[in-house]
Structure 1
Amino acid sequence: MEIKQQSLPYENEREMVHTKWNYYMLLAVVFGGFLVFGLSENVKGPAITIMQSDFQLSQSQLGILLALNSLGYLLACTFTSALSNRIGVKWTTILAFACMALSGFFIYLSASYGSLSAAYFFLYVSNGILEIGLGIMAAQIFTRNTGMMMNLSHFFYGLSSTVAPSIAASVMGWQVRGGELGWRGMYLLVLLLSIIPILPALAGRVPKESADAGDSTSYRSLLRDPVAWLIVAVLSFGVVSEIAVGSWLVNFLVKAYGWSIGDASHMLSLFFLFFMLARLFLGPVTDRIGFTVSIMIFSAFSGICSMAAILIGEAGAILFAVAGVGIALIYPTVMALLAKRYPKGTGTAITFTVTLMGVASVIGNLLIGFIIDFVNGLFGKGGEVIGLQAGYGFIAFLAILCSLCCFILYTLLRRRGELV
């Protein structure tokens, strides 16, 4: 018995060290994954204008290209959960990282609008698998201080999103063999970084997810729940507005105000800086004043800032960046709202909401491109700036719609006595 008692602390200590080491490996996967994810999603801002010029694309074709991003994400929503259950979340994330690296080669080799669209679609399927995989992994390892750790994870996404446009603009200008690296080479180098998180992913061991026997939320019940549909509307309008800024802001500043791609990229980086800092410092505010009130206030703030920037003109361009403060909090706050509203079926509620949000994202990106082209057609050659203003005005309008839908949601929940 004495030997057993003496060896027990040693065994516990060894197990504790191993558990900590494994936790740090998984932490590196989640934080590194969000860093790579932010880069891969937001280097497109400076690249899109040059892509459009290289392939002589109309605004509608550009909208279709960006809509394919959302369509790829939507497709990933339909099978990633099942894939994770089949091969495990560890191998799901490794697969996502590997596919992202492979998509870099596809983009580099794209020689036409069709091949570029296919490569972009493959990239965003990979991004969708990664985001959902990281979400599942984070839920399994962040058993303590879950809210703080989730916010910290999204901080890393915001951090890489902040530097992504400036990095992209700089890397595209690198001289290689007497010529510029360009957007193809930039995408290849950036996406090859996704290989790095594979190393800790291979070394780590993800704990098995415990079954939730009390899961009472079903897709059927969500389909009949008006609150669920209002949450879908809130998230859809908010996220489409958020994603559209990364896709269209550089294009708007370059073509409407004649800015250089470098200067426009710095403004997009500033947007993501405000975005990142808001997620880091304003998270506690949402707990204090309530989730629905927070979304209502911050989304309205974002929409008003963007609309004011358009009306003021070039002198008010800084307000495009300030709008990031409001739009940043919508996605994580809606996720928190779902967790509180559906505590016994959070996974089902998130899958339902995010999938429908993906449908809205496809439609939203298409509409922005078509609105720009339609207004251009109405005003002729002199209407390009007006068309761009109309397209970006639609982005601002979506943020305001998000706030209005949240007001309806707030009213409904308050009437039922279910406000969170």
Structure 2
Amino acid sequence: MTQIAKRKLVALTCAAMTQHGIVLLLIGPILPSVMKAFRIQESAAGMMLGLGSLGFMLGPIVAGTIADRAGAKWILLFGLIGEVVLLSLFGFAPAFLWAVVINMLLHFAAAFVETAVNVIPTLVERRHTGSLMNLVHLFFGVGALASPFLAGLILKFTDNWRLVLWSAALPTLALALATWRLRFPSHREHMEREGRSSQITFPALLRNRAVLLGALALGLYVGAEVGLSNWIVLYLQRRLGLATLASTSGLSVLWIGIMAGRYLNSLLARSRSSRELVLWAGVGGLVSGLGLLTARSLWEAYVWLGIIGLFMSGVYPNIMADLNGRDPSRTGAVTGILTVGAAAGAMVSQPLLGVIAEWMGLSVAMAMPAVLMGLLTVAYLSAADVKPEARDAGAFSS
């Protein structure tokens, strides 16, 4: 590929990641309106969200396998078109059961986008994959910040949650058209450049220690990120007595720290290894996560949240860039397994922190993200230490 073609592909990937952040966080702002429209209680809403997470867990396995055979372009295109169709259908859902099914399929399609945007940096940039992966993931934070704000504006002026979904479908359609027109590196071209065969043995990957430990590390990371994001507002309100605006602003500070950290990691990854960056992130996340519990004022909490965001920021992209780039013939399949691990962490952490908060106290629950940051460091370093011979036996070639 020419440099211009690579830049266009990177720009598309960043745009797709921004929209991915918007779509994944869209249900939160409209959930009260959805519950009111279908006359459901919290338990039913929780079931809908849980099945959505299940769809997101199932998607990467299929998407990763297809990516290794057909190429990243087609899984990205499938995911984007699927999102356009399902966002539109969700807006027309006549009954709650339809909304549940559509939401599950929407997250299944979103998993294809997730897999594609994590495969493309490895295809485009082999030398500094970690740097590009951090830059791409920075744009997820942009979407995550924009989604509640944009949805809130639409709800404020129209009071129509269905319009929020239809509005999200339009830029997704534009991205699908851009994906269709843009040239991607062919799978054969990629394999020839790397000098590797494309013999995929998926069962072997499921026995590979490096991949499984990497999936565990990402699950622990996402558990920490989602757990902190979901519970920090309540913690700030109860612990520090902050008002709604001040407490929700704390969540924004966390994500601003994550975005700033991912930009910093995109620079550091050019001279530092993933092992170093994840080690720093894990230790720093553990210490700053516990430091948050000592905050006694709004500004102390904001400072700690910003620091936590800086440390947490590089974990996901650096682990993904290291492990999914080790064997080019299995980039998609490995990405799929790693994404399943991350999705599992999101599913498990939310009810776990809820139980801990109810039985042991909210402060104990808020210490768990810090503990998870420490545990993920151990898991990833164990994955990074898997010897080439052990990788050969499981799946990777040396």
TM range, smaller chain:
0.7 to 0.9
Distance 2:94 2:246 in 1: 28
Distance 1:247 1:112 in 2: 28
CA contact 1:33–1:197 (8 Å) conserved in 2: yes
User: CA 1:88–1:291 in structure 2 vs 1: closer, same or farther (change >3 Å)?
Assistant: closer
For residues 38-53 of structure 1, the aligned pairs below 5 Å read 38-47=21-30
Instruction: Name 1:394's counterpart in structure 2.
Output: 368
Instruction: Name 2:311's counterpart in structure 1.
Output: 326
Instruction: Name 1:292's counterpart in structure 2.
Output: 275
Distance 1:198 1:228 in 2: 31
Instruction: Name 2:63's counterpart in structure 1.
Output: 80
Given candidates 200, 204, 209, the residue that maps to 2:182 is 204
User: CA 1:310–1:148 in structure 2 vs 1: closer, same or farther (change >3 Å)?
Assistant: closer
Q: 1:64: how far off?
A: 4.7
Greater mean alpha carbon deviation, residues 31-40 or residues 220-229: 220-229
CA contact 1:275–1:328 (8 Å) conserved in 2: yes
For residues 5-404 of structure 1, the aligned pairs below 5 Å read 25-47=8-30, 57-58=41-42, 64-84=47-67, 89-109=72-92, 114-142=97-125, 146-173=129-156, 175-176=157-158, 180-181=159-160, 183-210=161-188, 211=191, 213-214=196-197, 218-219=201-202, 221-250=204-233, 253=236, 262-286=245-269, 288=271, 290-312=273-295, 315=298, 316-318=300-302, 319-339=304-324, 342=327, 345-372=330-357, 375=358, 386=361, 388-404=362-378
CA contact 1:299–1:399 (8 Å) conserved in 2: yes
User: CA 1:360–1:204 in structure 2 vs 1: closer, same or farther (change >3 Å)?
Assistant: same
Distance 1:205 1:407 in 2: 36
Greater mean alpha carbon deviation, residues 355-364 or residues 109-118: 109-118
Structure 2: unaligned runs, 5 residues or longer: 391-398
Distance 2:12 2:282 in 1: 31
Q: What do the CA deviations read for 1:154-204 (whole angstroms, capped 9, x no partner)?
A: 22223222333333334332x23xxx34x5443432343212212322322
Q: What do the CA deviations read for 1:84-123 (whole angstroms, capped 9, x no partner)?
A: 5677643432332232233333444557765544343222
CA contact 2:320–2:338 (8 Å) conserved in 1: no
Name the TM-score, length of structure 1 as normaliser.
0.73
User: CA 1:295–1:64 in structure 2 vs 1: closer, same or farther (change >3 Å)?
Assistant: farther
Name the amino acid aligned to 1:400.
G
CA contact 1:237–1:398 (8 Å) conserved in 2: yes
Q: 1:83: how far off?
A: 4.3
Instruction: Name 2:393's counterpart in structure 1.
Output: none
Q: What do the CA deviations read for 1:279-310 (whole angstroms, capped 9, x no partner)?
A: 11134445655423422331232243334334
Q: 1:74: how far off?
A: 1.5
Name the TM-score, length of structure 2 as normaliser.
0.77
Distance 2:285 2:206 in 1: 30
CA contact 1:271–1:324 (8 Å) conserved in 2: yes
Distance 1:89 1:410 in 2: 25
Q: 1:130: how far off?
A: 1.0
CA contact 1:64–1:366 (8 Å) conserved in 2: no
Name the amino acid aligned to 2:75.
T
Distance 2:291 2:30 in 1: 26
User: CA 1:270–1:56 in structure 2 vs 1: closer, same or farther (change >3 Å)?
Assistant: farther
Instruction: Name which one, 1 or 2, has greater alpha-carbon Rg.
Output: 1
CA contact 1:70–1:124 (8 Å) conserved in 2: yes
Greater mean alpha carbon deviation, residues 22-31 or residues 251-260: 251-260
Distance 2:365 2:174 in 1: 38
Distance 1:114 1:394 in 2: 34
Distance 2:140 2:200 in 1: 30
* Secondary structure of residue in 1 paired with 2:187: coil
Name the amino acid aligned to 1:317.
A
Q: Percent identity?
A: 19
Structure 1: unaligned runs, 5 residues or longer: 1-15, 380-385
User: CA 1:271–1:186 in structure 2 vs 1: closer, same or farther (change >3 Å)?
Assistant: farther
Instruction: Name 2:396's counterpart in structure 1.
Output: none
Distance 2:88 2:240 in 1: 34
